[in-house]
Chain A
Amino acid sequence: MKILLVDDSSTMRRIQANTLNSLGYTELVQAEDGSDALKKLAENPDVALVLLDWNMPNMNGLDCLKAIKASPTTKAIPVMMVTSEAEKTKIIEAVQAGASNYLVKPFDADSLKAKITALMGG
């Protein structure tokens, strides 16, 4: 199963990749902002899950989420926001835009594992 990691921080992508690898998910694609994510999705139509940061340059995570959900080819892909935006209004905004789940930074590896397992039914 291919997973797209979207975060402007290479550190955060590395932390997430390490956790996903430990879960057995080794097919990972990485993008450094929202517009890069849309490009990577077009290049990788078999992506099954997107982990999406919110605050990024060029195109932020919310706009990227809206673009994913507006496209017939990508709208069925589950998107989990992984972000430091912890306010309830932000979480509601993301869920209303189509986010399947929401993980607030700081998080521990077990929380990330549990959310991904729940989303993918593993």
Chain B
Amino acid sequence: MKAEYINPFLKSTIETFATMLKKKIVPGKVYLRLEPHNTDISGVIGLSGDIRGAVVMAYPKETALKVVSAFIGEAVTEFDASVSDAIGELANIIIGYAKKDLTGISISISLPSVIRGANHLVDMPKNAPVVCIPFSGECGDFVIEVSIIEKDK
């Protein structure tokens, strides 16, 4: 997968956290996913157009609660449907904002889907590599998984 497909998501995540959550986050070393992560809540956005694939923002419960609290500006302690809505909207904003830096290709993004449940796995298409971008910060750790296939392949 081309680096130019990954960098916009990395940049958009950092900028969105700085602008809307007022939180600094630091990316770790990008790696290829060999096994699915166990995670507690995932915001999933599908990509279509000149490329196809999906982006998953995967959080442990404790990180998700801190992220959502910062996002809406209120303390959130219940891991409920309102957290799912916030995680979906945050994914929508981040992936939507990344689109402007994916220059030269036409991309449509799906409305967000959210999976909430302890230790779930999100499988990706088998024929596409899944690139993971880990982040850490004062809200805790989380991972963005990007799986993209160019249309002519």
Contact = CB atoms under 8 A, between A and B. Distances in A.
B93 interface: yes
B111 A84 contact: no
Contacts of B74: 18
Interface string A28-61: 0000000000000000000000000001110000
Give 3 nearest A-B pairs by CB, closest first: A84-B96, A9-B89, A11-B86
A91 B128 CA distance: 33
Contacts of B86: 9, 11
B17 to A, nearest CB: 9
Interface of B: 15-16, 19-20, 22, 68, 71-74, 82, 85-86, 88-90, 92-97, 99-100, 109, 111
Interface of A: 8-12, 14-15, 18, 55-57, 83-87, 104-108
9 contacts: A9-B92, A14-B72, A15-B71, A83-B96, A86-B96, A86-B100, A105-B96, A105-B97, A106-B16
A107 B19 contact: yes
Nearest to B109: A55
Contact of A106 (B85, B93, B109, B111): B93
B71 to A, nearest CB: 7
Contacts of A14: 72
Nearest to A88: B100
Contact of A11 (B16, B89, B94): B89
B99 A87 contact: yes
Contacts of A10: 82, 85
A9 B16 contact: no
Contacts of A15: 20, 71-73
Residue among A14, A56, A87 with max Cβ neighbours from chain B (10 Å): A14
B71 A11 contact: yes
A119 B71 CA distance: 25
Given A8-B111, A85-B96, 16 more contacts: A9-B86, A10-B82, A11-B68, A11-B72, A11-B90, A14-B72, A15-B72, A55-B109, A84-B97, A86-B96, A104-B97, A105-B20, A105-B97, A106-B93, A106-B94, A108-B20
Contacts of A87: 99-100
A59 to B, nearest CB: 13
A47 to B, nearest CB: 23
A105 B97 CA distance: 7
Nearest to B68: A11
